[in-house]
Amino acid sequence: MNVWLINPRTDDMISTELPGFVAKEVGCFPPLGLLYVAGAVRERTAHTVRIFDLAARDMTYAELAAHVSSDGPDIVGVTSTTHNLVEARRAAETVKQAAPGIPVCLGGPHVEAFADRALALPCFDSALRGESEYAFPAYLDALDNGESLTAVPGLIYRDGDTIRTNPPSPPINDLDGVPFPARDLIRAKDYSYVLGKRATFTTLLTTRGCPFRCIFCSTPHGGFRMRSPDSIVDEMEACLGYGSEEFHFIDDTFNVRPERVRLVSEAILRRGLKTQWSFRGRVDKVDRESLALAKQSGCGRIHYGIEAGTDEGLDALKKQITTAQAEAAIRMTREAGISSATYFIIGCPHERNRADVMRTIDFAVRVNPDFAMFNIMAIYPHTELFDMAVEQGLVPANFWDEFVENPTPDFRMRFWNASMDAEELTELLRLAYRTFYFRPSVVWRNLKQLGSAGELRHKAAAAIAMLTGGRR
C-alpha cells in the first residue's frame, strides 16, 4: 500500500501559555512521531511511505488536495496534539474531499489524552492509541490482507455505525530495538531552532514516560524507559550522515540519572564525533564531572525547567527541587562553559498578587542564565492542576470535552486566574521578558553569542515584538 503520513499546519493551534511574540520565533522541529512510525513501516512491512510536513513546507490544503487527487494514497495517517486538533481536522477533511474512499487514521498525543472521543470527528475512520511503531504496521497489514482488525493493539475504529476499541498498545520496553526515525523522508533545511548554532539541526528522543509528577504537566506518568548510550550515539552518527550538524534532545528529562550525561558524553568522545548538542535536564541531577565531559563532547546548552523562583512555589508545583539547587546548577553549568536556558511559569496557584510573580522574575534575573523563557500557568487536561481548577470553579469539568468534540479556532486555553485575570498575567509576562532581556549585560552577551545571520534575524524579531507587545 501507498501510505501517507501528514503533519498538519499550525495556523489555528489553540492559544497556549507561550506568548505569541516568542512562539513565532522559536523555530520548527522535525515531526519525530511520524518519522518513527515511518521507519517502523519500512522495516516491518513492504508498504511504501511518504511524509507531508505541511507546517515545515508551508504547504496549503489546496496543494495537499492536489497531491491526493494526482498521487492517490491508499491510506493516510494524521498526527495531532489536542492543541492542533483544528488543523488535524482540516487535513483529514481535505483528504476526504479529494478522495472520499481513502481511510484516514488519527495518531499522536491527542488520541492518548482523549481515547474515548478520538473518533468524535467523522473525518477520521480510525485512531491509534499509545506507542504505534509496531501497532501501525500491524494495522496496515491487516487492512491490506483483509484480516480482522480486532488483533491490532490500541486501535479504535468504525465498524459500520459502531466504534470499537481494542485493548491498549503496551509500552515498548526495548527502545533500542525501535527503528530510527526515517529522516531521509524530510528535508533537513526545513527545520530550525532559534537557540541553534549550526545551519542544520535535528531532534532526538532517548526516553519515554516520566517518573515525576509536576501538577501542571500532562506528560504520561509511569512506564519510564531509557535507550542505551550506544543506541543514542548510533542515531547521532546516522544523522550526521544526513547532514544534521546539531542535536537537541527533547526528552522531558534527559538526565533523570546524573551518570547518563557522563555515559553519553563518553560514547560521543569514543566515536570521535564532531558535533554540538543540547538537552533538557533537572537542576538536581547535574554535577561537575558530568558537565565537564558534556562540554568536552560538544554539549553547548542545557535547558532547565525551574518554573518558580521560591521554594514555596516549587513545593506547590511538586517540582521536588529547591531554589538553591537551581542556582547551583546554573552556576556549575556556566563554569563548565555551557550555556543555560531556563523555564519559568507565572500565575501559579501559590502566586496571589503581582509581588509574588515578581519574586520569580527577580530570581531569574539574580541567577542570570543565558536564556529565560517565561510562560503563564495554563490548565491542561488530565493534570492535577486541572482537577484543582474544577474544584475551585475556574473551569467546568467538561471544558476540554466540548473542544475535542467540535474543535474551533476561537477556543482559548484557560490560565490559572484565581487571583489575577488574563490581562494582568499577560502584562506581567511581557514585563518578565523585558526585565530579563533588556539589561545591557544580557543584550551584549547575546550579541557576542550570535551564531548566524538567521539567529540574529529571529532574535531581533522577537525583541521588537516584546517591545511592541507582540504587534508587528
Radius of gyration of the chain (CA): 22
Residue 71 — pLDDT band, cuts 50, 70, 90?
confident
pLDDT digits (tens, 9 = 90+) for 238-265: 999 888 889 999 999 999 988 999 999 9
C-alpha cell at 163: 466504534
Dihedral sign of CA atoms 408, 413, 417, 418 in order: positive
Separation between Cα atoms, residue 226 and residue 142, nearest integer Å: 31
Neighbours of 58 (CB within 10 A): 11
d(CA 202, CA 461): 23
2-165 adopts what CATH topology?
Answer: Rossmann fold (3.40.50)
Residue 356 has pLDDT above 50, yes or no: yes
Domains of the chain: which residue ranges? Answer: 2-165, 195-378+415-437
Question: Contact 314/322 with Cβ under 8 angstroms?
Answer: yes
Q: Domain spanning 195-378+415-437 has what CATH number?
A: 3.20.20.70
Report which of 112, 55, 76 is spatially closest to residue 1, judged by C-alpha positions. Answer: 76
Whole-structure pTM value: 0.91
Chain segment 405-461, per-residue pLDDT in tens:
999 999 988 999 999 998 999 999 999 999 999 988 887 776 666 655 455 445 545
